Chain A
Amino acid sequence: MNVFRLAGDMTHLISVLVLLLKIHTIKSCAGVSLKTQELYALVFSTRYLDIFTDFTSLYNTVMKLIFLGSSFSIVWYMRHHKLVQRSYDKDHDTFRHQFLVLPCLILALLIHEQFTFKEVMWTFSIYLEAVAILPQLVLLQRTRNIDNLTGQYVFFLGAYRSLYILNWIYRYFTEPHYVHWISTTSMFCVVLFCFGFTIFKWYLISVLLLTLSAWMSGFVQTLLYADFFYYYINSWKNNVKLTLQA
């Protein structure tokens, strides 16, 4: 395991802890999208089907259990905890997640490495993770005012994606058979960055890009954060409360 992968896992873990902290201690989930959290629970349950059959390392197994446990407990808190569910912004969190799940499922059935149940589900989880943040980004745009913890949650998630990309680039050079699409993807990224699209155009483009490969989806997900990062860093630099422009 390389340093980028470890740092990526740690920022991913921090993002989950930040969210749990907010929900558990402040008993509030204001600004948090239940749709995104449900999608993550689905992502982890379809990806970690091998948790009891293929052993990689103790680290892997423990982390998988943490991500499964935390995602389901966040969903449970937001749905069933009396105090927490009261702060849930139901009226703004209206993204239809079936529009993300179905295309990802069809795509996984069409484009995969091996046509086995576990492999197709793994591929589905990779595609779905790339777009699972969309309901959260839409909710952030609609509510405008974002509290610190929600902002930090999305920031750490974005950091995790960026570090995973560095990890893939590293593995590409150190493990010859690792990634095939990476040069194509990074070229796409440069072109897209040059055009400076906003979140919703990113979505259309990401659907197109997803058809190219599983590796691509990791990049797309990071691109979705680019817009958010811009405002996050600006608000931090100017020391003002984080708001998003429409």
Chain B
Amino acid sequence: SSKQPGHDEL
């Protein structure tokens, strides 16, 4: 699920 856009944000 971390590949979804925005998941690397806080």
Contact = CB atoms under 8 A, between A and B. Distances in A.
A91 interface: no
Interface in A146-196: 164, 167, 175, 177-179
B1 A119 contact: yes
Nearest to B5: A178
A179 B1 CA distance: 16
Contacts of B2: 50, 54, 56
B1 to A, nearest CB: 5
Contact of B10 (A64, A114, A179): A64
Q: How large is the interface on B (under 10, 10 to 19, 20 to 34, 35 or more residues)?
A: under 10
Nearest to A120: B1
A122 B6 CA distance: 10
A12 interface: yes
A175 B7 CA distance: 14
A168 B2 CA distance: 17
Contact of B5 (A9, A63, A179): A179
A114 B6 CA distance: 14
B5 A67 contact: no
Contacts of B10: 9, 12, 60, 63-64, 67
A50 B5 contact: no
Nearest to A112: B4
Interface of A: 5, 9, 12, 50, 54, 56, 60, 63-64, 67, 113-114, 116, 118-119, 122, 126, 164, 167, 175, 177-179, 214
Instruction: Name the 4 nearest CB pairs between A and B, nearest first.
Output: A54-B2, A119-B1, A118-B1, A56-B8
Given A54-B1, A126-B6, A178-B5, 12 more contacts: A50-B7, A54-B7, A56-B7, A114-B1, A114-B4, A118-B1, A122-B1, A122-B7, A164-B9, A167-B9, A178-B6, A214-B6
17 contacts: A9-B10, A12-B10, A50-B2, A54-B7, A56-B7, A60-B10, A64-B10, A67-B10, A113-B4, A116-B1, A118-B1, A119-B4, A122-B4, A126-B6, A167-B9, A175-B5, A178-B6
